[in-house]
Amino acid sequence: MEIVLDKKDTTNASIKIRLNEADYQPKVTEKLKEYTKKASIKGFRPGKVPPALIKKMFGKSIMIEEINQLLVDSVNGYIKENELPIVGDPLPDKDEAEKIDWDNQKEFEFSYAVGLVSDFDYDLQALNIRKYEVEVTDEQVEQTISNLQKRYGEYIHPEESAEEDFLAGDLKAVDGDFTRDGVFLSLNRVKPEFRPQFIGKKKGDTITFDLHNTLEKPDQVAYLTGVPKEEAEKLTGDFTLTVTDVERMQPAVLEQAFFDKVLGPEAAMDEASFREKIKSNMQEIYVKDSGQLLLKQLKDQLVENTAIELPGDFLRRWLVTANKDITAEQVEKEFDDFIRELKWDVIKNRIAKDAEIKVEHNEVIGKTKTMIREQFGMAALGDEDDDRWESIADNFLKGEKGKNYMNVFNQVYADKVTGYILEQAPSETKKVRSEEFVEISRA
């Protein structure tokens, strides 16, 4: 066997393989013997089929199968042994393959196109990273608790409507034949200047109003009338709403039952600890959001400031070949984003290699436990040292035929690389209010 790398330019090459009969025939002969022992052919006892007949019937297909496997192993082995910086997968030359005479040839030549990453340097010291510490104000905590009280509250039915109530009723056009029974109107959707005429209403009261002038947004007319937006625009003039019910959200009371519903049993035992826990949870959310913004900075700066050449035409062809449901047009539409992510992966892997970053099995287990605790709540399954955690994590990682393990492994890997970059790169920390952080995140 002869394997040669033909490098066409910085990012494109081909791997050429020449095979002679001695390279594949031993495996073919061995497989034919296995077939002879196991073959069940009418007219012959099991294991007594003449080898010549087996060869005539299966020899060609066995040879093709063994040669293909030899090619796969040889190409992958060559890439690994020579540490070729490939992207995508090797693509066989189909035109050459179609010219092969499998019935008569003894020697074969194959060619695989490969895409390479150009050599490149990165500079972590050139990064300009800004970390954000987001301040959670008492006003935000109060607003969050108020929203939670509404979410866990219950509806009551007062006699008269007030500012933020809901009116159920029957809607009818004053001039026209449009009617709709059982509509549900939130007074928050009514413009402030028209809201007084909806307040203080009881069952049986009738309110006359202009739909388009009264409601806050045009699409709310479509929602209230139950017709498409285009048709709703044609519903002009006055309408009447005959009230059939008044509903009001009664916020949950700040008591132990409410604390348990929001945070879990006994996570907070009084109002003060509840407020502190809510604030802490909000802070954790901002820490995660800040971490995502930090990661975006790393990716953007490293990708933009690191000169890497990639084999664009090869990658376009590989994407279409590797994904049967994707067209060339779809690839082209999303190609820039794909290249950007690929460059980040290439840089990240290079940094990991240079820093000798590795992921251990116990780190994958630890990450899995953390993920499960975050999903189901820390109090759900007791102490993290409980033996049940090991079993739960192990069962999860075995799921999806090993895909779960690789997903968690990649998360741990990415976290370790990102952590290393942050240790090496210059950075500054800035304290900001949440409103400012939201604006920065959107920029």
**What distance in Å separates the CA atoms of residue 36 and residue 47, rounded to the nearest whole number?**
6
Angle at 345 between CA 340 and CA 348, to 5 degrees: 125
Give the closest residue to 62 by CA, choosing from 39, 108, 29. 29
Average pLDDT, the chain: 91
Say what angle helices 328-354 and 271-305 make with each other, to 10 degrees.
100
**What distance in Å separates the CA atoms of residue 121 and residue 341, rounded to the nearest whole number?**
18
The predicted structure's pLDDT at residue 11: 96
* Tens-digit pLDDT profile for residues 402-436: 899 999 999 999 999 999 999 999 999 999 998 89
The predicted structure's pLDDT at residue 45: 72
Does the pLDDT value for residue 387 go beyond 70?
A: no
What is the average pLDDT across 151-172?
Answer: 95
Structure tokens at 170: 């029957």
Q: How far is residue 226 from each of residues 20, 26, 158, 190, measured CA to CA in Å?
A: 75, 75, 26, 17
CATH number of 154-250: 3.10.50.40
Task: Residue 167: count other Cβ atoms within 10 Å of its Cβ.
Answer: 23
Determine which helix (DSSP H) or strand (DSSP E) holds 133, and give its type and residue range.
Answer: strand 129-135
In the chain, list all ranges with CATH 1.10.3120.
124-136+268-442
Structure tokens at 95: 């035109």
Contact 111, 99 (CB under 8 A): no
**What distance in Å separates the CA atoms of residue 414 and residue 420, rounded to the nearest whole number?**
10
Does the pLDDT value for residue 380 go beyond 50?
A: no
In the chain, list all ranges with CATH 3.10.50.40.
154-250
The share of the chain scoring above pLDDT 90, in percent, equals 76
Torsion of CA 244, 239, 196, 224, to 10 degrees: 70
The predicted structure's pLDDT at residue 385: 53
The predicted structure's pLDDT at residue 379: 45
- Mapped onto helix, strand or coil, the DSSP state of residue 374 is helix
The predicted structure's pLDDT at residue 381: 47
* Tens-digit pLDDT profile for residues 60-111: 999 999 999 999 999 999 999 999 999 999 999 989 989 999 999 999 999 9
The predicted structure's pLDDT at residue 389: 73
* Tens-digit pLDDT profile for residues 168-185: 999 999 998 899 999 999
In the chain, list all ranges with CATH 3.30.70.1050.
2-116
**What distance in Å separates the CA atoms of residue 91 and residue 69, rounded to the nearest whole number?**
15
Q: Could you please report the per-residue DSSP string of 346-375? A: HHHHHHHHHTT----HHHHHHHHHHHHHHH
Task: Residue 414: count other Cβ atoms within 10 Å of its Cβ.
Answer: 15
The predicted structure's pLDDT at residue 377: 55
In the CATH hierarchy, which top-level class contains the domain 2-116?
alpha beta
* Tens-digit pLDDT profile for residues 72-85: 999 999 999 999 99
Q: Which residues pair with 4 in a beta bridge?
A: 16
Contact 311, 13 (CB under 8 A): no
Give the closest residue to 55 by CA, choosing from 19, 29, 27. 29
Structure tokens at 356: 């000798």
Q: Which amino acid is at 213?
A: N
Does the pLDDT value for residue 378 go beyond 90?
A: no
**What distance in Å separates the CA atoms of residue 368 and residue 251, rounded to the nearest whole number?**
37
* Tens-digit pLDDT profile for residues 176-217: 889 999 999 999 999 999 999 999 999 999 999 999 999 988
**What distance in Å separates the CA atoms of residue 76 and residue 58, rounded to the nearest whole number?**
27
Length of the chain, in residues: 443
Does the pLDDT value for residue 120 go beyond 70?
A: yes
CATH number of 124-136+268-442: 1.10.3120
Contact 434, 286 (CB under 8 A): yes
Does the pLDDT value for residue 390 go beyond 50?
A: yes
Does the pLDDT value for residue 443 go beyond 80?
A: no
Q: Could you please report the per-residue DSSP string of 155-208? A: EE--SS--TT-EEEEEEEESSSS-EEEEEEEEGGGB-GGGGGGGTT--TT-EEE
**What distance in Å separates the CA atoms of residue 262 and residue 260, rounded to the nearest whole number?**
5
The predicted structure's pLDDT at residue 386: 57
The predicted structure's pLDDT at residue 376: 67
Give the closest residue to 207 by CA, choosing from 160, 237, 247, 243. 243
